[in-house]
Structure 1
Amino acid sequence: MKNNRRDFLKLSGMAGLGLAGSGILSAYTGRELPSSEQTIKLAGKEHKQEFNMSGYAAPKLDTVRIGYIGLGNRGGAAVKRMTRIAGVSINALCDIRQEKVNTAVQALKKTSYKPALYSGTEDAWKKLCERDDIDLIYIATPWALHTPIALYAMNHGKHVCTEVPAATSLEECWQLVQTSERTKKHCMMLENCCYDFFEMLTLNMAQQGFFGEIIHAEGAYIHDILEGNFSKTKNYNQWRLKENIKHKGNLYPTHGLGPVCQIMNINRGDQMKFLVSVSSDDFMMNEMANTLATKDAAYKQFIGKSYNGNMNTSTIKTHKGKTIMVQHDVTSPRPYSRLHLVSGTKGTAQKYPEPGRVSTSHEGWLSANEMKALEEKYTPNLVRKIGEMAKQVGGHGGMDFLMDWRTIDCLRNGLPLDQDVYDAALWSSILPLSEWSVNNRSNSIDVPDFTGGSWKKNLPVDISLSKGGTTAVI
């Protein structure tokens, strides 16, 4: 315990200084997981808010100058999408793999952008963050780098958008919150599912009182990516497979959780109180490793590992007595699902299995014509304005483009972002909290209040476009 505590304090001190250099990064990504006692302490940490980032409107940026770090599956697509949005300048690109940088440059050939290029070393991203001509760092790297890069970027005066999850430990969650408050720089997690058309429809319906008092919600990430996890080419250095060895719990909570948190006004009128989590054993990943090793000796290193269980179910209770259930399963041969169930005193919505449906009684779902009428009445202004263009540009059916356009529009108009650092920290914290509960016979654990109590007065997310909505598309 003494050694663990000393190591933790040492790491915390480094993060406070913003020293996310290459040597520290190596120590950071390779360190052991925090002890059970440390997790409990950080879960119950009382936070004295230095500055409230919820509802914070940073100064307007006529042109948002962007630097991309990580140009693989998500980052490369993000670069292409951004070329369709006015009022941006793509000023820098970074990936450890030169070929990924080259591919991103090719996507910009028909544009006027001439970005600086960084590659070849593990800390090339630092030089990008240090540039004076960057306003926003867009992070699409493996998970372990999300927090170190975000901290370094904010400490160098940059806003941050990071892929999910924003953090993988409670230490990281608290570091993001404290750094964002101190620097007054946005730290937004790129939770694209908050911009799914049905999720946004139900958010607007909830805010208009259609469901009455929301009592319970469910979200999930049920996605059979078993083969992809073991692929040598899909994820750089098979990093995602290694995360499934390192962690036990809900490794990827935010796709299902983010939209229902916005609907339930979590961090903005209510707050999570405690969590319990249970996982099945692994019945598939070790079997896959054994099968692959018979054909390729490189897979022998993955035999006999303690993999994350195939199904994790976590249940959360809020301070106002409401409940959220969130699941994680990336191995079973089940149809893709984020569940997205919203249950209130006057109505219910559920997206999966598709199409999304709504009910106002126990007698069944509304008819197709009734659903069409609801969509005509409750489709939010954000979707009315940019939804068709988003479908054309694409990215998970258009929600990726909606997310990017909305973020740029808020930055250019000096508006609060739809997701703030408290959302990034809270939604990401389900990973380490569920891991603690799974490892402790599914006992309950407190959920940190990253807002320092300001959730009691923070305003709900506003997607009405009462302000902003001025950014053009190309």
Structure 2
Amino acid sequence: MNGKQQLRIGIVGAAGRPRAFKQAIADHPRATVAALCDVTEERLRQASAHFGAYPAYLSYETMLEEAELDAVIVGTPMQVHVEQTLLALKRGLHVISEVPAGVSVEECRRLVRAASRSKGQYVMAENCNYMKPHMTIANMVRDGLFGELYYAEGEYLHEVKALNESTPWRRVWQTGVNGITYGTHSLGPILDWMDGDRIAKVSCVGSGRHYADSAGRPYAIEDSCVMTAKTEAGRLIQIRLDMLSERPGALNYELQGTRGCYESVRYELLGSGKVYVKRDGEPKREWADLAEVGEAYVPDIWRGLPEAVVGESGHGGSDYVMVTDFLNALTEHKPSPIPIHRALDMTLPGLISQRSIERGGEWLDVPDSRTWE
């Protein structure tokens, strides 16, 4: 950080996903955009029109060499996350990387080595962890309201056939590979609720293939892939990924404990959901709105957010809350909110699922990245 204690941030892929982070950076008293990077002049013009007239680069390596930076936001396609993160960590810069952490187990190994040697902190930008209902449920879990947790579900249902045409990398890395290719949005909140636990083994099967792209080529990924997982503590988790089926998008979650449960409201993409908590002597079991019974458990970081921020910053305000939390940690020299091993707890099960589905759903062990150090 510089003499004024401002965290100077370079943004790669600045015309894409990181645009949702603009307001959080602008509102933070100790952070500022310092440089922008993207792959074409047109995209750089778009980024500059959105963020402002900061130094702009077509080369990521040149930005790292020439710009005075303390941190980098990696908002590029998933297959380049690791290479760009490694270059920044090698320079001792903090990294906020989009999801997933990597696209192969070997990439993830390289990431662990680099993060363990760098002065910079690694943070994975899993915004689903920061959605208001998910953070509220996390506080309720930690207060013991659901009892001992033993089961959870997560579904990411997002039809992307048109996006495959406009962003061809998706056709290769998201729908060109079979299995759970994009599972951190589902796993992130669940593993946060199951604080300290990790997935130890997985089995993955698919529903078959019923769609083809505009060139008539069948997708490698099966329409719905379902990963069943067992955690180290013996909990059961089920994850469904569907990026092709004809249906509206949905993020669905379920959590079950010995004293109660939570279910998101299906068909409401960012709805708050319903909860049931067992009360001693209670004669009936009835659902209650999370927005009402969970009010006392809403995290402070969500309280008092202006409606404009909630409506404009992306994903119901979770992008704003996530980036604010990350910047607070980095500027106050606190541990990363989603550090390297937690990021890989979310990423590695999906990578191993891709091997399992090739083997007809065989149960396979998921490596613990902590052993790689």
What is the TM-score with the length of structure 2 in the denominator? Answer: 0.91
Identity %: 28
Alignment of 1:450-469 (within 5 A): 450-452=369-371
**Residues 134-145 of structure 1 mapped to structure 2, 5 A cutoff:** 134-145=69-80
Q: Does 1:129 align with 2:129?
A: no
Q: Secondary structure at the match of 1:338?
A: strand
User: Residue in 2 aligned with 1:358?
Assistant: 275
> 2:37 matched to 1:116?
no
Letter in 2 for 1:340: Y
User: What root-mean-square deviation, in Å, do the aligned CA atoms of Structure 1 and Structure 2 show?
Assistant: 2.4
Does the 8 Å CA contact 2:182/2:241 hold for their aligned counterparts?
A: yes
- The CA distance in 1 between the partners of 2:93 and 2:191, in whole Å, is 27
**Is the 2:276–2:288 contact (alpha carbons within 8 Å) kept by the matching residues of 1?**
no
Deviations 1:156-188 (A, max 9, x none): 111111111110110111111121111142211
SS in 2 for 1:138: strand
Q: Is the 8 A contact 2:151 2:235 kept in 1?
A: yes
Are residue 437 (structure 1) and residue 364 (structure 2) matched?
Answer: no
Contact 1:61–1:413 at 8 Å: present in 2 too? no
Deviations 1:286-326 (A, max 9, x none): 1xx3xx4xxxxxxx3xx334521010000111111111111
Unaligned runs of 5+ in 1: 1-57, 293-299, 455-474
- Any conservation in 1 of the 2:20–2:313 contact (CA below 8 Å)? no
Q: Deviations over 1:122-147 (max 9, x none)?
A: xx111222346211110111111100
| C-alpha distance in 1 between matches for 2:319 and 2:286 | 29
How many angstroms does 1:372 deviate by?
4.6
Aligned to 1:280: 207
Partner of 2:11: 68
Q: How far, CA to CA, are the matches of 1:432 and 1:395 in structure 2?
A: 27
Pick from 294, 297, 312 the counterpart of residue 225 of structure 2: 312
User: Per the alignment, in what secondary structure is the counterpart of residue 273 of structure 1?
Assistant: strand
Q: 1:181 aligns with which of 111, 116, 119?
A: 116
The equivalent residue for 1:243 is 173
CA distance in 1, matches of 2:370, 2:308: 35
Spell out the pairing of 1:12-411 with structure 2 (5 A cutoff).
62-79=5-22, 81-109=24-52, 114-119=53-58, 124-131=59-66, 133-230=68-165, 232=166, 235=167, 238-244=168-174, 246-265=176-195, 268=196, 270-284=197-211, 286=212, 289=213, 292=214, 300=215, 303-353=216-266, 354=268, 355=271, 356-360=273-277, 364-368=285-289, 371-384=290-303, 386=305, 390-411=309-330
More deviation, 70-79/174-183: 70-79
Q: Which one is further off, 271-280 or 330-339? A: 330-339
Structure 2 letter corresponding to 1:99: E
- Contact in 2 for aligned 1:252/1:328 (Cα 8 Å): yes
- Specify the SS of the correspondent of 1:220: strand
Q: Say which SS state the counterpart of residue 164 (structure 1) adopts.
A: coil
Runs of 5+ in structure 2 lacking a partner?
A: none
Structure richer in strand, relative to its length? 2
Q: Distance in 1 between matches of 2:123 and 2:62?
A: 21
| Structure 1 residues 351 and 453: alpha-carbon distance in aligned structure 2, compared to 1, 3 A threshold | farther
The whole-number CA distance in structure 2 between the counterparts of 1:221 and 1:382 is 26
Which of 1 and 2 has higher RCO (CA within 8 Å, sep 6+)? 1
Report the Cα offset of residue 78 of structure 1: 2.6
- Structure number with greater Rg is 1
Give CA-to-partner distance per residue, 1:79-125, whole Å, 9 cap, x none: 4542233221211110011111111212244xxxx522111xxxx11
TM value normalised by structure 1:
0.72
